[in-house]
């Protein structure tokens, strides 16, 4: 892949920054990019595991005594200490923790003495359903809505729509998921009784939780998509596409959309983490037996093995999601294949 | 204060990439050296290296016989000053014109506080600006006025060497003429030498005594302007000369 | 600053947000003093009462008045939110500053860490901190604060990095300005605005985050209570006494909105905030006027392009800005015409209007806008698209941004022929390869598969020209096609345009601010100033017979390789008039050495000077330059 023309590497006066010449690369850029992203994922997962491990060590005083309360007999406290391995040297505990987390043996609950893996098995389905539905709903609504409104309001067109959009999404984005959830409970428990407001029995019990998470996050992301639409529509290459007299659909979908998605994903991707943790809140409002309700319960009762496990699972989901976004970005933007390294 | 700028074997690298490669330059005391070349050829990097704004990999840079990298920031400020290309980026938008010029005087601390206002007035007049502009914020000035403020700021230090990096590239032609005239006037009135960087050969020819032609980090030809332009020896210099669109027919 | 504050309060949102904020602050100060007694009065007999005149929000499980409790909780809710934001700022800003001030390697390491932690959900971070230091108000505050710190760190780092790279910081360093002052005066002062905005909105974010934690039972615990805690109490009674949840919920929502509104209002005041309504009115009025004006009779003409009395206006708060004010222009088949003028003189807007590419909200009118004998303004859009797509090509100033970065060069070229000539994808690619070769790009087959970023600036401009040649254009409009390029590359591109004109017979309309570029390429030059054509003459007579003082000054002020180095350059004093302050007479009068009262009073018409030479001046000058 060499270039013979003498002009390669020259730049116009306006571009102050230097661009590396393209010749002489061996590994394809995207392979290196992917390897780099995977490395980052591994490091992040290492950090999450280490921090959740250290969490117990950081707690001032005796964590087990704190968990069991001042009235628990000393023998029980000692027994639980051993169960957690707190009597072992730190380094042994650390490798033990890794071994357990990687093999899916998350230890036993301090409270119920049941294996945490059983709890996870029983509850992960509901949580996964809510998270997946919310992710899809958020992305679809935000991208479609943001794109359409962005085109419709470009360059001061339809000022009323623009104002309405800013106001509506502004309010929706400022409403936190737990408030929306409570509002929905109120509406559907008191006024309309179409959807169940508690428990997870049947598909329709996921409608309100998904709605509660999606409303705010979709509004936030939709704003991002709209403003990146405006930016992309102002780019010279879109003017060029019009100057080539391409049909409007081709101008917007073929020339606009991929560039727009790059911008929207970069910023909107940050939003997806909150979608994942949104489930913690809405599960609690709608009394859904999932990982979120279990996590909050465990936090209050200081059931450390459960807390560690669920935190690792949720954090891992977020990290993998971010990797996927990164990969998608790399696929959308040919420049990133080279520039990431 | 006087003393020319001498650069020997200057090499600048950014992350393993050689941007300036063993450059020798002589800005002779009291003369103007024009440095031409394409964008990205390394002109600005030389300027930045002289001012300690770019990492020097090898070489020597002396002003008036002193290695600039061994001077304190204040000492260096007295010897070399620079005017930048972008008239919109080179003035702090939150400081008044007077404040911008005064800041240099304060940093040097040569003048007692009560004489500074008079000096600001003198400098503004030197660059053909009304002293009334001292109260204004940069955003209320035109591009040409801003560049003249930047020149006044640089001259506040009474430097031995002034570096002007593409100072008229962002200006319209009629404004470019104003700035060039101001510069010529100051060169006649005050004694200092100048490194004048531009991609525009005609502008360099108009303002300079000597010329250096740069390409890909290397000086390919240097000498007195008249000689180099009348009888270019390096093929690249000839290519540059041929490429210039001419308004007036040349002999 | 004062002006900006006034803008803040003059907007409705601004005043609403300010009033609500004031109310919140007053409640936080006086709420606990006034209502503490009532809020804590236990009366188990009155547990879970529905709302009533006595208990607006009803009562809780111990019969305490929920309304009083909600008001009292304002102080704890607000204070915790402010404290959490404070922690985030105190941790984040210095970290971001340090990362930006030290070398690129530290910066990139920092960015990796911060990017991961920003994408990491705040709720999990807060829960983690809560577990470690214990569940309660301090844990929630610290947790939310730490969770938000990376956002401040990144914002500070990117802002600082962009300010540091500006020339005024470099200039201050070369002046020997001390570091302390450099950071304070030049860096912090210029990153403060966005930081203040973010800090404001972050208080709302903290408030919501801490409320969420309390709501889940992970924040304030009895006897302490904040809105989040009250909300979860209220949720228990949602069937019997919904106000117990709705009350605190509304307060949370309201305060969240107040802070995000405040942030937006402050941002709007710092940025230039235009009032949309007046703008819209001007736009509508102009569009209506344009409809009345169009539909003038068209006189037949044999020119390739024939434009008469072209006007383009941009609606603004101060009424219409007339960027182009009656431009008339003809281009014959195969002719090379140049338009020259300083930036802002209306060159680009004129040709964009001719090419039917001016966008909303600009309004275009013309007595005649004929291309290849067809009036463009009355053509049906679909037919016009096809007509211009095959007959008109355009090249723009910045080749770096004119090509779509996410599409291969080949696709961008081929699609033109696919759309307009109905070629198959493979035929279109073959044609694209031919055109790339024609504009002098070697190894065209391979180049087609590359993306724009793999091309140099000169090659991109060649590719743009090749794109224009995919059909057989009769006219190529090139707007400053070489301004962003080096001289040697400029020469090549100009030569290429000349070759296309010679070989394919396409006429060329070349725009440049550089009169010598025009003189080298064109046969005729049109000089524009302040939205009007002031002179129109053959290039051959430019030096001999230019008559308009502006044209003459333009020529005299450009140094070229023959300029006398011992004389001052000619200059033009002052600057061009602003569009919202155009004089009634000659627009050049305030800068013209020959101006008389007549010039100030009346606009000179574009009048014939000699054969093929027009000038708009009451006192045309003579003699060679
Ligand atoms: N979208 C716009 N809104 C308002 N004014 C504009 C817009 N585009 C251009 N103008 C104004 O129109 C005038 C002519 O601009 P332009 O045609 O770009 O000049 P030139 O190409 O000669 O440099 C300028 O004063 C410019 O500020
Ligand atoms: S009309 Fe008058 S003011 Fe205008 S250019 Fe001619 S002489 Fe000058
Ligand atoms: Mg233009």
Q: What residue in B sits closest to C193 (Cα-Cα)?
A: B94
pLDDT tens, B117-129? 999 999 999 898 9
Residue C464: pLDDT above 90? Answer: yes
Residues of chain B positioned with their CB less than 8 A from the CB of A13: 39, 169, 199
Residue A66: pLDDT above 50? Answer: yes
- Percent pLDDT > 70 in chain A is 87
Per-residue confidence (pLDDT) for residue A325, from 0 to 100: 87
Q: Give me the long-range contacts of C278-285 (CB less than 8 A, separation at least 24).
A: C278/C317, C279/A156, C279/A159, C279/C315, C279/C316, C279/C317, C279/C361, C280/A156, C280/A159, C282/C315, C282/C316, C282/C317, C282/C319, C282/C320, C283/A156, C283/C315, C283/C360, C283/C361, C283/C363
Q: Are C210 and C226 in contact (CB under 8 A)?
A: yes
pLDDT tens, C577-611? 988 889 999 999 999 999 999 999 999 999 999 88
Contact call for B205 and C559, based on CB within 8 A: yes
Instruction: Give the lowest-confidence range in A205-214, A257-266, C68-77.
Output: A257-266
Which helix (H) or strand (E) segment holds residue C38: the answer is helix C12-40
Residue A19: pLDDT above 70? Answer: no
Say how far apart CA B245 and CA B240 lie, in whole Å.
10
Q: Could you say which DSSP state residue A190 is in?
A: I
Query: Which range of residues forms the domain containing residue B237?
Result: 5-243
The answer to the question of residue B196 being in a domain is: yes
Find out whether the beta carbon of C212 lies less than 6 Å from any atom of ligand 2.
Answer: no
Q: What's the rounded mean pLDDT across residues B163-177?
A: 88
Residue A277: count of CB within 10 angstroms of its CB? 26
**Could you name the CATH architecture of C7-271?**
Orthogonal Bundle (1.10)
Helix, strand, or coil (residue B164): strand
Find out whether the beta carbon of C579 lies less than 6 Å from any atom of ligand 1.
Answer: yes
Say how far apart CA C382 and CA C388 lie, in whole Å.
10
Higher pLDDT, B179 or A203: B179
Instruction: Give the lowest-confidence range in B23-27, C57-61, C518-522.
Output: C57-61
pLDDT tens, A183-241? 888 888 777 777 766 776 777 788 889 999 999 999 988 988 898 888 888 889 999 99
pLDDT tens, A150-199? 989 988 888 889 889 988 998 888 888 888 988 888 888 777 777 766 77
Residue A41: pLDDT above 60? Answer: yes
Q: From atom 1 of ligand 2, which residue's Cα is the shortest distance away?
A: C617
With residues binned 3-state (H G I as helix, E B as strand, rest as coil), the percentages for chain A, rounded to 5, are 75, 0, 25
Residues of chain C positioned with their CB less than 8 A from the CB of B139: none
Query: What ligand 1 atom has the least distance to the C-alpha of C344?
Result: 19
Residue A23: pLDDT above 70? Answer: no
Identify the band that residue A25 occupies on the pLDDT scale cut at 50, 70 and 90.
Answer: very low
Residue A29: pLDDT above 50? Answer: yes
Q: Could you say which DSSP state residue C422 is in?
A: -
Q: How many domains does chain B have?
A: 1
Contact call for C394 and A243, based on CB within 8 A: yes
Touching partners of B (3+ C-beta pairs < 8 Å): A, C
Higher pLDDT, B226 or C575: B226
E-strand stretches of C530-578: 532-538
Residue C293: pLDDT above 60? Answer: no
Which of the ligands is closest to the CA of residue C550?
Answer: 2
pLDDT tens, A298-318? 988 888 889 999 999 999 998
| β-bridge pairing C392-395 and C475-479 | parallel
Nearest Cα neighbor of C169 from C188, C152, C155, C153 is C188
pLDDT tens, C1-54? 455 555 655 577 778 888 999 999 998 998 888 888 888 888 888 877 888 878
Say how far apart CA A227 and CA A223 lie, in whole Å.
6
Per-residue confidence (pLDDT) for residue C277, from 0 to 100: 52
Asked whether the bond before C223 is cis by omega within 30 degrees of 0, the reply is: yes
Which of the ligands is closest to the CA of residue C315?
Answer: 1
Find out whether the beta carbon of C529 lies less than 6 Å from any atom of ligand 2.
Answer: no
Say how far apart CA B217 and CA B23 lie, in whole Å.
8
Residue B235: pLDDT above 50? Answer: yes
- Percent pLDDT > 90 in chain B is 61
Q: What's the rounded mean pLDDT across residues A18-34?
A: 56
Identify the band that residue C188 occupies on the pLDDT scale cut at 50, 70 and 90.
Answer: confident
Asked whether the bond before B5 is cis by omega within 30 degrees of 0, the reply is: no
φ, ψ of residue C7 to 5 degrees: the values are -60, -40
The answer to the question of residue B251 being in a domain is: no
Which of the ligands is closest to the CA of residue C619?
Answer: 2
Pocket test for ligand 2, best of C533, C554, C586, C600 (most atoms within 8 A of CB): C586
Nearest Cα neighbor of C559 from B176, A163, B81 is B176
Q: What residue in B sits closest to A14 (Cα-Cα)?
A: B39
Q: C166 at the B interface (CB within 8 A)?
A: yes
Q: Are A318 and A237 in contact (CB under 8 A)?
A: no
Question: Environment class of residue C583 by beta-carbon count within 10 Å: exposed (0-12), middle (13-18) or buried (19+)?
Answer: middle
Per-residue confidence (pLDDT) for residue A20, from 0 to 100: 40
Identify the band that residue C279 occupies on the pLDDT scale cut at 50, 70 and 90.
Answer: low
Touching partners of A (3+ C-beta pairs < 8 Å): B, C
Helix, strand, or coil (residue C378): coil
- B143's CB contacts (< 8 A; 6+ apart) are B87, B88, B170, B171, B172, B175
Say how far apart CA C592 and CA A80 lie, in whole Å.
94
Q: What's the rounded mean pLDDT across residues B176-193?
A: 90
Say how far apart CA B187 and CA C515 lie, in whole Å.
28
Chain C contacts in chain B segment 151-170 (CB below 8 A): 153-154, 156-157
- Calculate the CA dihedral of residues A186, A192, A198, A199 and round it to 10 degrees: -160
Written as one string, the DSSP assignment of A296-308 is HHHHHHT-HHHHH
Query: What ligand 1 atom has the least distance to the C-alpha of C312?
Result: 12
Intrachain domains C7-271 and C305-328+341-473 with the same fold: no
> Measured in angstroms, how far is the CA atom of residue C339 from the centroid of ligand 1?
15
Residue of C128, C207, C316 to mutate, testing the A interface (most A Cβ within 10 Å of its Cβ): C128
Structure tokens, A271: 């939003």
Residue of A37, A48, A154, A178 to mutate, testing the C interface (most C Cβ within 10 Å of its Cβ): A178
> Measured in angstroms, how far is the CA atom of residue C307 from the centroid of ligand 2?
25
Q: What's the rounded mean pLDDT across residues A262-279?
A: 81
Say how far apart CA C475 and CA C414 lie, in whole Å.
20
Residue C487: count of CB within 10 angstroms of its CB? 22
* CATH code of the domain occupying C305-328+341-473: 3.40.50.300
Count of residues making up chain A = 341
Residues of chain C positioned with their CB less than 8 A from the CB of B173: 342, 513-515, 554, 557-558
- Give the closest of B104, B174, B243 to C342, CB-based: B174
Q: A74 at the B interface (CB within 8 A)?
A: no
Say how far apart CA B88 and CA C496 lie, in whole Å.
34
- B158's CB contacts (< 8 A; 6+ apart) are B1, B78, B190, B192
- Calculate the CA dihedral of residues C218, C222, C225, C231 and round it to 10 degrees: 70
Instruction: Indicate the angle between helix axes A291-301 and A116-152, nearest 10 degrees.
Output: 120
The answer to the question of residue B250 being in a domain is: no
The answer to the question of residue B165 being in a domain is: yes
Residue C389: pLDDT above 70? Answer: yes
Beta bridge partners of C340: C512, C527
Q: What residue in C sits closest to B172 (Cα-Cα)?
A: C342
Identify the band that residue A15 occupies on the pLDDT scale cut at 50, 70 and 90.
Answer: very low
Q: Are C104 and C49 in contact (CB under 8 A)?
A: no
Residue A3: pLDDT above 50? Answer: no
> Which residues fall inside 5 Å of ion ligand 3, going by CB?
C 348
Q: Mind telling me how many Å the CA of A75 is from chain C's nearest CA?
A: 24
CATH of the domain at B181: 3.40.50.300
Beta bridge partners of B32: B194
Query: What ligand 1 atom has the least distance to the C-alpha of C345?
Result: 22
Q: Are A2 and A26 in contact (CB under 8 A)?
A: no
Say how far apart CA C475 and CA C368 lie, in whole Å.
18
Find out whether the beta carbon of C143 lies less than 6 Å from any atom of ligand 1.
Answer: no
Instruction: Give the lowest-confidence range in A119-123, B139-143, B198-202.
Output: B139-143
Contact call for A175 and C401, based on CB within 8 A: no
Contact call for A277 and C124, based on CB within 8 A: yes
> Measured in angstroms, how far is the CA atom of residue C349 from the centroid of ligand 1?
6
Which of the ligands is closest to the CA of residue C602?
Answer: 2
**Rounded to 5°, angle at Cα C209 from C203 and C212:** 140
Domain locations in chain C? 7-271, 305-328+341-473
Q: Are B58 and B236 in contact (CB under 8 A)?
A: no
Which helix (H) or strand (E) segment holds residue C464: the answer is helix C457-468
Contact call for C557 and B52, based on CB within 8 A: no
Higher pLDDT, A330 or C91: C91
Work out the mean pLDDT of chain C and round it to a whole number. Answer: 87
pLDDT tens, B39-92? 889 999 999 999 988 889 999 999 988 999 898 888 898 899 999 988 888 899
Q: From atom 10 of ligand 1, which residue's Cα is the shortest distance away?
A: C323
Q: What's the rounded mean pLDDT across residues C233-240?
A: 81
Say how far apart CA C14 and CA C12 lie, in whole Å.
5
Residues of chain A positioned with their CB less than 8 A from the CB of B38: 10
Nearest Cα neighbor of C193 from C256, C89, C94, C269 is C269
Work out the mean pLDDT of chain A and round it to a whole number. Answer: 82
Per-residue confidence (pLDDT) for residue C180, from 0 to 100: 84
Q: Could you say which DSSP state residue A193 is in?
A: -
Per-residue confidence (pLDDT) for residue A163, from 0 to 100: 87
Per-residue confidence (pLDDT) for residue A138, from 0 to 100: 92
Show the domains of chain A with their CATH numbers.
30-102 (no CATH), 125-289 (1.10.3720.10)
Structure tokens, A100: 């357990």
| Residue C169: half-sphere exposure toward Cβ, Cα within 13 Å | 21
Residue C599: count of CB within 10 angstroms of its CB? 22
> Measured in angstroms, how far is the CA atom of residue C187 from the centroid of ligand 3?
33
Q: Are A304 and C128 in contact (CB under 8 A)?
A: no
Per-residue confidence (pLDDT) for residue C296, from 0 to 100: 46
Question: Environment class of residue C521 by beta-carbon count within 10 Å: exposed (0-12), middle (13-18) or buried (19+)?
Answer: buried
Structure tokens, B114: 């009560």
The answer to the question of residue B248 being in a domain is: no
Contact call for C190 and B53, based on CB within 8 A: no
- Give the closest of B103, B104, B244 to C487, CB-based: B244
Residue of C162, C167, C485 to mutate, testing the B interface (most B Cβ within 10 Å of its Cβ): C167
Residue A12: pLDDT above 50? Answer: no
């Amino acid at each position: 892949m060499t270039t013979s023309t003498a002009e390669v590497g020259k730049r116009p006066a306006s571009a102050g920054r230097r661009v590396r010449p393209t010749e002489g690369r061996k590994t394809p850029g995207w392979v290196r990019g992917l390897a780099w992203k995977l490395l980052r994922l591994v490091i992040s997962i290492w950090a999450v595991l280490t921090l959740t491990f250290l969490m117990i060590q950081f707690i001032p005083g005796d964590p087990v005594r704190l968990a069991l309360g001042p009235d628990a007999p000393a023998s029980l406290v000692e027994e639980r200490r051993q169960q957690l391995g707190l009597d072992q040297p730190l380094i042994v505990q650390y490798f033990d923790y890794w071994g357990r987390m990687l093999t899916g043996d998350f230890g036993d609950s301090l409270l119920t003495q049941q294996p945490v893996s059983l709890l996870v098995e029983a509850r992960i389905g509901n949580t996964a359903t809510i998270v997946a539905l919310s992710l899809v709903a958020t992305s679809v609504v935000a991208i479609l809505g943001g794109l359409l409104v962005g085109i419709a309001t470009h360059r001061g067109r339809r000022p009323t729509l623009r104002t309405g959009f800013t106001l509506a999404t502004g309010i929706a984005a400022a409403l936190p998921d737990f408030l929306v959830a409570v509002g929905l409970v109120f509406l559907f428990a008191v006024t309309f009784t179409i959807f169940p407001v508690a428990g997870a029995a049947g598909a329709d019990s996921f409608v309100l939780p998904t709605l509660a998470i999606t409303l705010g996050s979709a509004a936030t992301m939709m704003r991002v998509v709209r403003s990146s639409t405006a930016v992309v529509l102002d780019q010279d290459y879109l003017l060029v596409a019009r100057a080539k007299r391409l049909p409007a659909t081709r101008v917007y979908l073929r020339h606009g959309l991929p560039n727009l998605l790059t911008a929207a994903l970069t910023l909107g991707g940050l939003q997806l983490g909150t979608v994942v943790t949104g489930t913690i809140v809405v599960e609690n409002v709608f009394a859904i037996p999932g990982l979120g309700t279990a996590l909050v319960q465990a936090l209050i009762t200081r059931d450390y093995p459960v807390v560690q496990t669920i935190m690792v699972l949720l954090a891992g989901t977020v990290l993998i999601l971010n990797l996927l976004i990164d990969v998608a970005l790399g696929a959308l933007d040919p420049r990133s294949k080279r520039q990431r390294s | 204060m006087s003393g020319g700028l001498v650069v020997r074997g200057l090499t600048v690298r950014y992350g393993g990439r050689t941007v300036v490669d063993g450059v020798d330059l002589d800005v002779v005391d009291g003369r103007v050296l024009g440095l031409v070349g394409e964008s990205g050829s390394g002109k600005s990097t030389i300027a930045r290296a002289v001012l300690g704004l770019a990492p020097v990999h090898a070489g020597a840079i002396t002003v008036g016989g002193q290695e600039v990298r061994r001077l304190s920031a204040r000492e260096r400020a007295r010897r070399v000053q620079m005017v930048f290309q972008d008239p919109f980026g080179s003035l702090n938008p939150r400081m008044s014109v007077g404040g911008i010029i005064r800041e240099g005087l304060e940093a040097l601390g040569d003048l007692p506080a009560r004489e500074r206002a008079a000096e600001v007035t003198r400098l503004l007049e030197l660059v053909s600006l009304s002293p009334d502009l001292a109260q204004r914020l940069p955003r209320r000035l035109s591009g040409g006025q801003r560049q003249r403020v930047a020149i006044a700021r640089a001259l506040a230090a009474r430097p031995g060497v002034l570096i002007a990096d593409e100072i008229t590239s962002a200006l319209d032609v009629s404004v470019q003429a104003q700035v060039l005239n101001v510069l010529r006037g100051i060169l006649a009135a005050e004694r200092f030498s100048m490194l004048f960087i531009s991609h525009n050969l005609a502008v360099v020819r108009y303002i300079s005594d000597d010329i250096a032609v740069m390409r890909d980090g290397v000086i390919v030809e240097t000498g007195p302007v008249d000689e180099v332009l009348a009888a270019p020896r390096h093929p690249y210099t000839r290519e540059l000369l041929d490429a210039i669109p001419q308004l007036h027919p040349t002999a | 600053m004062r002006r900006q504050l006034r803008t803040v309060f003059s907007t409705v949102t601004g005043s609403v947000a300010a009033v609500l904020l004031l109310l919140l602050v007053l409640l936080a100060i006086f709420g606990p003093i006034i209502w503490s007694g009532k809020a804590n009065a236990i009366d188990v007999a009155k547990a879970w009462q529905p709302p009533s005149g006595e208990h607006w929000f009803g009562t809780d499980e111990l019969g305490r008045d929920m309304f009083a409790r909600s008001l009292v909780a304002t102080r704890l809710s607000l204070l915790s939110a402010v404290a959490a934001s404070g922690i985030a700022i105190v941790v984040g800003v210095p970290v971001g500053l340090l990362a930006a001030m030290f070398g690129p390697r530290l910066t990139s390491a920092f960015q990796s860490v911060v990017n991961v932690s920003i994408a990491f959900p705040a709720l999990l971070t807060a829960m983690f901190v809560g577990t470690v230091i214990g569940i309660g108000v301090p844990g929630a505050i610290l947790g939310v604060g730490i969770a938000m710190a990376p956002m401040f760190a990144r914002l500070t780092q990117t802002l600082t990095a962009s300010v540091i790279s500006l020339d005024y910081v470099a200039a201050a360093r070369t002046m020997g300005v001390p570091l302390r002052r450099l950071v304070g005066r030049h860096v912090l002062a210029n990153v403060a605005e966005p930081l203040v905005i973010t800090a404001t909105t972050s208080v709302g974010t903290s408030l919501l985050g801490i409320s969420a934690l309390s709501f889940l039972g992970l924040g304030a615990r009895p006897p302490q209570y904040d809105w989040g805690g009250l909300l979860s109490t209220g949720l228990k009674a949602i069937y019997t006494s919904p106000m117990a949840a709705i009350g605190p919920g509304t307060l949370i929502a309201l305060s969240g909105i107040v802070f995000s509104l405040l942030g937006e209002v402050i941002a709007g005041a710092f940025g230039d905030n235009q009032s949309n309504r007046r703008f819209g009115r001007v736009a509508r009025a102009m569009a209506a006027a344009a409809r009345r004006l169009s539909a003038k009779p068209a006189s037949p003409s044999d020119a390739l392009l024939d434009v008469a009395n072209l006007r383009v206006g941009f609606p603004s708060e101060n009424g219409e800005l007339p960027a182009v004010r009656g431009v008339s222009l003809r281009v014959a088949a195969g002719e090379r015409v140049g338009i020259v003028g300083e930036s802002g003189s209306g060159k680009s807007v004129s040709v964009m209007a001719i090419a039917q590419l001016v966008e909303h909200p600009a309004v275009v009118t013309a007595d005649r806008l004929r291309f290849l004998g067809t009036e463009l303004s009355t053509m049906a859009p679909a037919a016009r698209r096809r007509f211009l797509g095959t007959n008109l090509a355009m090249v723009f100033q910045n080749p770096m941004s004119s090509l779509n970065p996410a599409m291969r060069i080949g696709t961008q070229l081929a699609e033109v022929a696919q759309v307009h000539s109905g070629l198959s994808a493979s035929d279109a690619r073959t044609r694209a390869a031919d055109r790339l070769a024609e504009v002098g790009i070697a190894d065209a087959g391979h180049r087609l598969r590359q993306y724009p970023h793999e091309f140099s600036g000169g090659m991109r401009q060649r590719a743009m020209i090749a794109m224009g040649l995919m059909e057989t254009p009769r006219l190529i409009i090139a707007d400053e096609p070489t301004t962003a390029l080096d001289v040697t590359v400029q020469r090549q591109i100009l030569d290429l345009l000349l070759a296309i004109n010679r070989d394919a017979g396409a006429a060329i309309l070349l725009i440049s601010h550089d009169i010598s570029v025009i003189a080298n390429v064109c046969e005729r030059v049109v000089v524009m100033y302040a939205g009007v054509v002031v002179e129109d003459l053959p290039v051959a007579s430019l030096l001999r017979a230019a008559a308009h003082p502006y044209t003459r000054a333009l020529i005299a002020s450009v140094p070229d390789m023959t300029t006398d180095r011992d004389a001052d350059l000619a200059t033009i004093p002052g600057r061009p008039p602003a569009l919202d302050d155009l004089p009634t007479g000659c627009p050049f009068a305030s800068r013209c050495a020959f101006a008389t009262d007549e010039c100030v009073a009346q606009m000179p018409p574009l009048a014939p000077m000699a054969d093929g030479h027009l000038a708009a001046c009451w006192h045309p000058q003579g003699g060679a330059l």
